A and B are shown apart, each in its own frame.
Chain A
Amino acid sequence: MSRVRAWRNGGHHMDKAKIMVIDDEEDVVTFLTTLLEENGYTTCWALDGVEGMEKIQKERPDLICLDLLMPEKTGIILYREIRKDPSLKEIPVIMITGFAAPEYPLIDFKRFISKRSIPPPEVFMEKPIDREALLRAIEETLERKEKPTGS
């Protein structure tokens, strides 16, 4: 309810934020897009990193929900490309990890990030995805992003 309100409250100046879902599992994409649309966001999606990059450049989303492990181009590589691209690096990323025990890739990932002095993603989320927590994280991230741009 609060998120719907927040969206409605901010609706006059920020019309329907666009959120992009990138995950190799179709079920996850279906679920997340459905959830986000139900909560007043517009969505777009991709099933792998290559497609994801194309769509990001085309759609210019306000926020990206990125699955870490994907075939073809993993979430890590995609994230790096996003952050390296000056036109895209401001887009906040919620990194979703698909591990039951997520510490390994996260550690790897953080190590990877720090090595290349790339800022970490705004939020880490673990599967199975808690709907409430995801929505709250998206709302907070968008608000944080809005403030510096708005000021």
Chain B
Amino acid sequence: MEARKNLNREQPIRRLPLRRALAFRLGLGMGLLTLFSVLAFGYFSVTSQRAELIGQVEEKAHWLGEGIVTGLKQGMARHDPEGIDGLVQAVGRQRGVSLVRLMDRTGTVRFTTNPEELGRKLDATEESCNSCHSQGIPARAGKAAKMARLYSIDTGGRLLGTITHIYNERSCFSAPCHFHKEGQRVLGILEVGVSLEEAYRSISAAVTKTSLFAISLFLGITALFVAGLLFFIERPIRRILDATHRISRGDYGCKLDETSQDELGELARSFNRLSERIRTREEELEKSRQEHETLFENVPAYVAVVDREYRIVQANKNFKETFGHRVGESCFSAYKGLDEKCPNCPVEMTFSDGACHRSEEIGLNKRGKEIHYLVYTAPIFDREGEALYAIEMSVDLTVTKRLEKELRVSQEYLDNLVENSIHGIVATDATGKIIIFNRAAERILGYDASQVKETRDLERFFPLEFVQMIWSGLRQGTARRDLKMVAQETWLRSSKGERVPVRFSGVLLWEDGTPVGAVGFFQDLTAFKALEQEKLQAERLAVVGQTVAALAHGIKNIITGLEGGVYVVQTAMKRRDDSLLQKGWGMVERNIEKISHTVKDLLTYSKVAAVDMQPVKPTEIVEEVLSLFKDKARQCGVEIVLEAPADLPMAYLDPKAIHTCLTNLVSNAIDACVEDTSKSDHRVIVRTRLEEDDSLVFEVIDNGVGMSEEVRAKAFSSFFTTKGTKGTGLGLMVTDKLVQEHGGKITVESAPGLGSTFRITIPRAPEEASGGLHEGPGA
């Protein structure tokens, strides 16, 4: 955050001093260039002008010289020295001619416009002579002599002297004076000195004019240039500059005028593109910065930046809310209230190796409450790659820890529940691997949990049916509520191979529609079975007691009947009443018969324990019984109906016992019909069928008198009869007993006045015998 502020700090826009302005410099440079150009031009122009002027002057002097020489020759020929002198003086008076002198071969001045030097002999060092006669050597006439030699004689002013050689001609050496010999080439020299004042004056004027022109041009061009630059270059540049300043201040709204078609227009367009890109980029940066800041501030973690002194330089909202405003404090103090660095400090490790570290810590929040957190540290490098800061990101584990603890507690609670259950509990995970095998399961089955956990030998601990259910359920992986099994009585094998009777219930466990495992609960029925046995024994004893009491009662009844008969017999004998005697004797006989019946039933009952099971056709037994009652039923006006499916399979049972049972029930049913006077049509239906669970059902249905609830409740008690002296009260009891011995049960539904339904349900075959059934006779 600090760095960002630095970046944004505004820089003042400085106005450049004029001397450093580009336009000024360019203008000045251009002006100077012009100045020098003009000056150079002027210099060459003046130089050539001077040469021209001097040439003109020289020409003029030459012509003068030639003229004088011509005049001289004529004068010489006429021996007219005055004429020559006059010519010299006349030429000398010509404007611009400052000196005319004529020297002979010896260098003696013979004619001159300067009277002071007349007759003086000039030596070779004289300025007029030394141009040719340097070093005293006689000049060689040649080219130089032919052309007029140019030299200047300075006599206070600027002078140009021309030397004209006077060559020896025929007219000279053939003249009558014979003054000049024929062999002489040069007879003398004429020197004409011309003043250069005028030429110099005009040159000077030209120089002055040129200089003035140069300066004014320089000033003008500089000014124009500066102005032009200022207008066309500096102004747009300054606008761009302003725009860049604005951009640097973060104002991206400015747009430059792009109408100009020149490079500056191009620059402005380019600049606008650039500024647009910068703006976009800056916006992205800003967005990203805001995102980062939001992330930093709002990340659901405590974030703090610490320097190498372990001082917190920055912290996020979450941190401040939890630990308070601790920026500037040491991290150990802020997080834990410590006075010195924590041992195994991850920040220290990060500083030392520049890598990320993590550790689990316990701190104190601003209210002094313990906070568990997982801290990750990461280095923040400077440009040299040195870790300047470390960022600490801490995830609050307090809730997680609490949940963990709660989970652990609840897990322990559940584990305890499972472990201390008196029922065996065996559970698997989603792969069928055993993960729970509680103490009761160990005790009941005799295995050690450590041996069987992690195995998949489910067949050892679950009934086969449930094991198949588990594998199919886990394989299909879809939730099915019906995948559960309840077996009131089954058995499991212990580690020693013994059969342990158990009550078993198993269920597949689902979560969100997918199986997560299976669990089986089983209750050890060994003790229960023993108890049941005892109870049965006790019941049997009780039955014996009841039976004895009831038997005594029944016998008393019979004896009373007998006594009655005896009394009647005695009375008849006393009265000698034969018919009464017969009646009395009949009574005696009938009671004796009743005793015989009772004894027979009792014998049947006592023999019941040993049922003789064999494969038989149930329908055959039913038909046999019904044939016995055919006559009696017809006599009593009762219709007997047999309802049995033709395909009823073989069953494994005691045919005699079932015969007895059905006989009793059918007999009772006919009696109930006979007793009923409310209806005219009576019917007994005997029905057999096979239930889905492979149990065999015999139903005897009558529409006779029916039973009240009280009678129905006592129906299976011994010696209970509603038939007065006609029944023994043992029939249903015997039937019940026989059915029980078959592992079945007998139930009765009845409504007074409507009739009764007795239903015997017995397993078609015990498991061990079912194999042999299909090979049974008639099968």
- Chain A residues in the interface with B (C-beta under 8 A): 25-28, 30-31, 34-35, 37-38, 69, 71-72, 98-101, 104, 127-129, 131
A128 contacts B590, C-beta separation under 8 Å: no
Q: If A71-B677, A100-B729 touch, does A34 touch B557 (CB 8 Å cutoff)?
A: no
B718-748 CB mask vs A (1 if < 8 Å, else 0) is: 0111101100010000000000000000000
A127 to B557, CA, bound (A): 8
Q: If A27-B561, A31-B564, A71-B675 touch, does A101 touch B720 (CB 8 Å cutoff)?
A: yes
Extra inter-chain contacts (17) besides given A27-B586, A31-B568, A31-B587, CB under 8 Å: A25-B724, A27-B583, A30-B568, A30-B584, A34-B571, A38-B571, A98-B725, A99-B722, A100-B550, A101-B720, A104-B710, A127-B557, A127-B560, A128-B556, A128-B557, A129-B564, A131-B567
Residues of A within 8 A of B557 (CB): 100, 127-128
Residues of B within 8 A of A100 (CB): 550, 553-554, 557, 719-721, 729
Interface residues of B in 561-617 (CB under 8 A from A): 561, 564-565, 567-568, 571-572, 580, 583-584, 586-587, 590
Would you mind naming 9 contact pairs between A and B with Cβ atoms under 8 Å apart?
Answer: A27-B564, A34-B567, A34-B572, A37-B571, A100-B719, A101-B720, A127-B560, A129-B564, A131-B567
Residues of B within 8 A of A30 (CB): 564, 568, 580, 583-584, 587
B711 within 8 A of A: yes
A131 to B559, CA, bound (A): 13
B724 contacts A69, C-beta separation under 8 Å: yes
Output the nearest chain B residue to A30 by Cβ-Cβ distance.
B583
Interface size class of B (residues with CB under 8 A): 20 to 34
B658-691 CB mask vs A (1 if < 8 Å, else 0) is: 0000000000000000010100000000000000
Report the minimal beta-carbon distance from B637 to chain A, rounded to whole angstroms: 14
Residues of B within 8 A of A98 (CB): 724-725
Report the minimal beta-carbon distance from B568 to chain A, rounded to whole angstroms: 5
A31 contacts B567, C-beta separation under 8 Å: yes
Residues of B within 8 A of A71 (CB): 675, 677
Task: Please indicate which of the listed interface residues B561, B564, B722 has the most CB atoms of chain A within 10 Å of its own CB.
Answer: B564
Residues of A within 8 A of B559 (CB): 128
Output the nearest chain B residue to A104 by Cβ-Cβ distance.
B710
Instruction: From the candidates B560, B571, B586, B590, name the one contacting A129 in the complex (CB within 8 A).
Output: B560
B584 contacts A104, C-beta separation under 8 Å: no
B310-333 CB mask vs A (1 if < 8 Å, else 0) is: 000000000000000000000000
A94 to B719, CA, bound (A): 26
| The 3 A-B residue pairs with the shortest CB-CB distance in the complex, in nearest-first order | A128-B560, A31-B564, A98-B724
Report the minimal beta-carbon distance from A23 to chain B, rounded to whole angstroms: 10
A37 to B567, CA, bound (A): 12
B553 contacts A27, C-beta separation under 8 Å: no
Residues of A within 8 A of B556 (CB): 128
B708 within 8 A of A: yes
A100 to B724, CA, bound (A): 8
Report the minimal beta-carbon distance from B123 to chain A, rounded to whole angstroms: 199
Output the nearest chain A residue to B584 by Cβ-Cβ distance.
A30
A26 to B583, CA, bound (A): 9
Residues of A within 8 A of B564 (CB): 27-28, 30-31, 129
Output the nearest chain B residue to A100 by Cβ-Cβ distance.
B553
A106 to B558, CA, bound (A): 22
Q: If A34-B571, A69-B724 touch, does A27 touch B590 (CB 8 Å cutoff)?
A: yes
Output the nearest chain A residue to B588 by Cβ-Cβ distance.
A27
Interface residues of B in 231-259 (CB under 8 A from A): none
Output the nearest chain A residue to B708 by Cβ-Cβ distance.
A104
B719 contacts A34, C-beta separation under 8 Å: no
Residues of A within 8 A of B720 (CB): 100-101
Output the nearest chain B residue to A101 by Cβ-Cβ distance.
B720
A35 to B564, CA, bound (A): 9
Output the nearest chain A residue to B577 by Cβ-Cβ distance.
A34
Residues of B within 8 A of A128 (CB): 556-557, 559-561
B677 contacts A72, C-beta separation under 8 Å: yes
Q: If A25-B724, A27-B587 touch, does A34 touch B565 (CB 8 Å cutoff)?
A: no
Q: If A100-B719, A104-B710 touch, does A35 touch B567 (CB 8 Å cutoff)?
A: yes
Residues of A within 8 A of B550 (CB): 100
Residues of A within 8 A of B725 (CB): 25, 27, 98
A27 contacts B565, C-beta separation under 8 Å: yes
Residues of B within 8 A of A28 (CB): 564
Output the nearest chain B residue to A31 by Cβ-Cβ distance.
B564
A101 to B560, CA, bound (A): 16
Output the nearest chain B residue to A129 by Cβ-Cβ distance.
B560
Report the minimal beta-carbon distance from B489 to chain A, rounded to whole angstroms: 35
Report the minimal beta-carbon distance from A110 to chain B, rounded to whole angstroms: 14
Output the nearest chain B residue to A131 by Cβ-Cβ distance.
B567
Output the nearest chain A residue to B591 by Cβ-Cβ distance.
A27
A36 to B564, CA, bound (A): 12
Output the nearest chain B residue to A72 by Cβ-Cβ distance.
B677
Residues of A within 8 A of B714 (CB): 101
Residues of B within 8 A of A38 (CB): 571
Report the minimal beta-carbon distance from B55 to chain A, rounded to whole angstroms: 180
A30 to B583, CA, bound (A): 7
B5-21 CB mask vs A (1 if < 8 Å, else 0) is: 00000000000000000
A104 contacts B561, C-beta separation under 8 Å: no
B724 contacts A34, C-beta separation under 8 Å: no
Residues of A within 8 A of B553 (CB): 100
A35 to B584, CA, bound (A): 12
A48 to B721, CA, bound (A): 20
